[in-house]
Amino acid sequence: MGAFTFSLPNGKSFNVNGPPGFSFDQAKAIFDQQSKSGSLLGLAPGATLSAATQAASGLPSAQGAVNQALSGVTGALGAGIPSAAGLLGSISKNLATAGGALGGSLAPGIPGVTGAIGPAVTNSLGEITNKLGAAQLAGSVGSLATTSIGTINKSIASTAVTSPINTADFVKQIPALGPIGSMSTSDVSGVLAQSKNIVNQGASVLSNTNGAGSFGLNVSQLETAGILKPGTSALATASGASLSSVLKSPAVFTGANGIKNIDSLLANAPLQSSVQQDLMAKGTAALGAAGIPVGSLSAQGLAGVALSAAKSVPNTEALLKGLPTSAADKAQFNTLVKDGSYAVNLAQSKVEPVFKTEIKPVPAADTVDRSTLTGATDRVLGNDKIPAPSYSTPTPDVGTISQTIQSGFSEHIAGIQATIPKWQAINEKLKTLENQQVISEQDWLAIAGQQQAATQYYLDNLANYYTPASTVYDSAPVAVQKEFKPLKDKIASLTGNLTELAFPITKRIKQLSAKISANVSA
């Protein structure tokens, strides 16, 4: 670790410590910056300059750092601790004395309870909210989350509905294939109907302005859905070709789902609906991978985000992260978020349950006249030396089934029991690193590597033993399931223990990366 000593004009000296490879110039730059800001004045011997001490002096940049740190503190302390509400309350109270904290200067960074806890936040987090309080939820998901959730809430609150659907629109919509995140299947059906209203175009229409079909699909969307060949969108952009000219060429179609040309796409309204839902699901997943808290959004908050991501993930991500975007992109985003929220509200409160019932097809049975088929088979074979075919379902070998379940469940239990000590060892090493003021990048990479190895060890065990055995168990006779239920319950209990151990450790390792930096001490 690099360490350098500098002095103020009054002769008081300060140490600047940094990770391995920390240079004199880097240390000098940090010291000069802190001395010019006045943050070194009044620093007692032995004290360390941190974001919290700077926040107490009212430094805006430091208060931003405290804001960022608050999310880590509340997340780590709150998880699974029944008394976390009181503990976090005391943290908030203490921070309130450091430059205004929650009640003052940090408010712009965390847009208050109303900024982060609003129509965009899912009701499924109610238990967390009750335990830790609204302020914890605002901070625990981090500054990126508060920015994105605040953006969604602002769009919902400040934008008028442009193309509202009604119950008739919902009923006419082809039912969705399934849920997306916090949106139920009926919610997604409502959002699909809303998307069609926004485009306001028939399924058989191709327009350079509105796109293809009732959802206004463009080249990029159709390429993402696998309908067009990879690279078609880039080629169209480079050549400046219009949508209609690109789609009228059969050469750009992959043939997926039987769509070999634009006419077959425009003639298939159910497929257009399926493509739109697929784009919404893929776009939502891509935003989650980019750090947007889609899992914390209510159905109302997620609806418009999914619609926007279906059109353009990069534009939606930029808007939710507060990055510069065009006025047209902002206006489109606001419309989609507001209209999507409206559609979900209508689906949940106005549409009668009878219109939201999901009819699941039942496998057909006894559709063949067995006597006719048997007679035809006998006439074709017509030889006593050929064994007569059996049309009955083979009786499962209970012994083989039991052996498969016993072996798979036992191996998985042994795998979990071998995984837990790996996480316990990581926990002990993590405690040591957390007690250090700074750590090296090599130390952090080492413990992060241990965490990844332990995780992969468990996933391999899961795939090799539990998943195959569980599949057999689910289709086994009731008597066999009853026999092995104690083992299945034991697996569930051990898995819960492992999760309670591993989840907080994973969060703490992420927070530990903040210590790979320089610090200044008197």
Residue where the block lists tokens 């059996």:
390
Q: What is the pLDDT of residues 477-492, one digit of tens each?
A: 898 999 999 999 999 9
Q: Among residues of the chain, what percentage have pLDDT more than 70?
A: 69
- 412 touches 461 (CB < 8 A): yes
Model confidence at 64: pLDDT above 50: no
Taking 3-state DSSP, the helix, strand and coil percentages for the chain, each rounded to the nearest 5, stand at: 65, 5, 30
**Helix residue ranges, H only, 180-292:** 185-199, 219-224, 232-239, 243-247, 262-266, 269-289
**pLDDT score, position 13:** 73
**pLDDT score, position 207:** 87
Classify the phi-psi angles of 263: left when phi > 0, otherwise alpha if psi is within -120 to 50, otherwise beta.
alpha
Return d(Cα 187, Cα 340) in angstroms, integer.
Answer: 10
- Compute the CA torsion angle 220, 226, 229, 230 (nearest 10 deg): 60
Query: Average pLDDT for residues 423-450, to the nearest whole number?
Result: 90
Q: What is the pLDDT of residues 142-189, one digit of tens each?
A: 466 677 778 888 888 888 888 888 888 888 888 888 889 888 888 899
- Higher-confidence residue of 37 and 4: namely 4
- Higher-confidence residue of 252 and 109: namely 252
**pLDDT score, position 106:** 28
DSSP line for 33-56: HHHHHTTTTTPPTT-EE-HHHHHH
Task: Tell me which residue of 416, 446, 415, 466 sits closest to 509, measured CA to CA.
Answer: 446
Return d(Cα 194, Cα 307) in angstroms, integer.
Answer: 10
Query: Average pLDDT for residues 28-50, to the nearest whole number?
Result: 61
For 41, the token pair is: 């004045």
Across 35-39, 99-103, 320-324, least confident range = 99-103
Q: What is the pLDDT of residues 312-360, one digit of tens each?
A: 888 988 888 888 888 888 888 888 988 888 888 888 887 777 666 665 5
Query: Average pLDDT for residues 460-469, to the nearest whole number?
Result: 88
Q: What is the pTM (predicted TM-score) of this model?
A: 0.47
**pLDDT score, position 422:** 93
**pLDDT score, position 491:** 92
Return d(Cα 495, Cα 498) in angstroms, integer.
Answer: 5
Model confidence at 39: pLDDT above 80: no
Chain-centre distance of CA 297, in angstroms?
A: 10
Q: Mapping DSSP to helix (H, G, I), strand (E, B) and coil, where does residue 14 land?
A: strand
- 339 touches 162 (CB < 8 A): yes
Residue where the block lists tokens 């140490």:
15
Distance (Å) of CA 202 to CA 35, 196, 197, 217, 489: 67, 9, 10, 12, 53
Question: How many CB atoms lie under 10 A from the CB of residue 389?
Answer: 9
